[in-house]
Structure 1
Amino acid sequence: MPTATSPYAYRRRFTVTAPRLLRQPATRSAYTAPAAQAAPFDAVWKEALRNWLPQCLALFWPDTHTLIDWGIAPVFLDKQLKQLGRIVRPGIRHVDVLVQLQLKTGASSLLLIHLEVQAGRVTASFSARMFQYHVRLLELHPGQDILSCAILLDGKTDSFTQTYQRQAAGCELIFRFPVINLAAWRHRMAELKAQASTNPFAVLVLAQLEYRATRSGTTRMAGKLNLARALAKWDYAPDTRRLLFLLMDSLLVLPDPLNDQFLQTLETEEPIMMNQIN
């Protein structure tokens, strides 16, 4: 179990209940990033969704965002997620967030956000699994509106919807749900950067796209520095800036020597932000 001074110490105020790999900054000597460590997509994205769900919907699904009464706090239904069972096939990394929202009409609705790390072409089995989730939620909550949507971190398709369809002997079933493919957002970088100054979820998307775009340590460090410099200038509250830095740092892992160089550069250029983070 990490100690309080460990570079992998858990942050107690995080709402994630699974073991977290997010590193807590301390001194530069303790702030290391092993080159072989995989980015903890699950913990990072679940943390972001729980903290910035309204901003996520405003960025990805603005029409849905306008239907919701955000004056009433969302209720995350973690225990009910377990009742859905294990539908995702082995080898697929995913995050599910089930939340109860109040619509402006006064009715309540359940929103299921399914986030999946899936490389390459999106197969028919993905839509089938989303349909299974939807059906189980309808069984658990009869008469309640269910909004299902998905974010693919590595899906290579430009489609904004996915469809599950079955037909036999004149009986037809069509289940269509909205999908965000982050790979397609690489062509919308100007829009993302414009929103990132006020929408923390856009900052996370920029970090995720940087992760996918960079392979070498030096190239990744350059991109990470640019994003950190921008974060220092954006007008975020200290707690929000610190959390954004932690999530970004957990995605864009650098080898130890480059990590030390990265931190030293920021301590020189952006001492105010680094004091907030430490």
Structure 2
Amino acid sequence: MSAVTDTVATAAPANPISQSFRDSLVVAKRNLIRMTRIPEMVIFGLIQPIMFVVLFSYVFGGSMQIGGSTSPEAYRNFLMAGIFAQTVTFATAGAGAGIADDMHKGLIDRFRSLPMARGAVLTGRTLADLVQTALTVFVLAIVALLVGWRVGSNGDTNAGKVLAAFGLLLLTGYAFTWIGALIGLSVRTPEAATSGGLIWLFPVTFISNAFVDTTHMTPWLRHIAEWNPFSATVQACRTLFGNPGVSPSDAWPMAHPVWASLIYSVVIIVIFRTLAVRKYRSATA
């Protein structure tokens, strides 16, 4: 007589890191598909930075003194790094509004019922926003070339440095989307997330070296502008693009802008990703 025994094979638990990575890609794919089905999201995201390029280039181009020159060409070359940086940071509002909308519609509750990493929902959303930001920057660069922007206008550069500048821009944009994620989790409606995502960005972008030389500011305001993380990215891009920059400064971020931009971005990601994931867990507990 023989006994028949049934054995149940149990799968080994998945590696938490690899599972989080896969889940993040799934969520990112979901958001990218959603963007293709709502093309006006991408189109409206492109219109605003293009308007900034055209308006600032032609309205202020002949009245700003950059490096002793008031020519429109000099200001356009000075301006574009600031416009690029402003564009990637303004993606913060869209990230916050998107997450707030998912919370408002109950989509986050559906994700909770799935066996997936908690942080993957936010990581996937921010990765999808990064892809949209990259597309916006690409189109913006084409428009900038059409209005007269040129790399290497005031120094040596090469393709590697130009790509590094765009890489820094995307890293900065990705860092700021985590701020938007925290805002989106902290408010009740997408409208509030949009307002909350923009209201603090205006002083950050305008109290900087993005649109004017900081030497024209009062000393205390110049000090704030030179230590502004946004200014570090702008100055780093001008250095890598070979475009004219602000006047020499003793402030460490302005003397070492590439390193300063990298450090600022990493610190922002670490801090605000931690806070956003913690907020997400408490909000969906």
Higher relative contact order (CA 8 A, sep 6+): 2
**Over alpha carbons, which structure has the higher Rg?**
2
Which has the larger strand fraction? 1
* Fold in common (TM above 0.5): no
TM-score, with length taken from structure 2: 0.24
TM-score, with length taken from structure 1: 0.24
Which has the larger helix fraction? 2
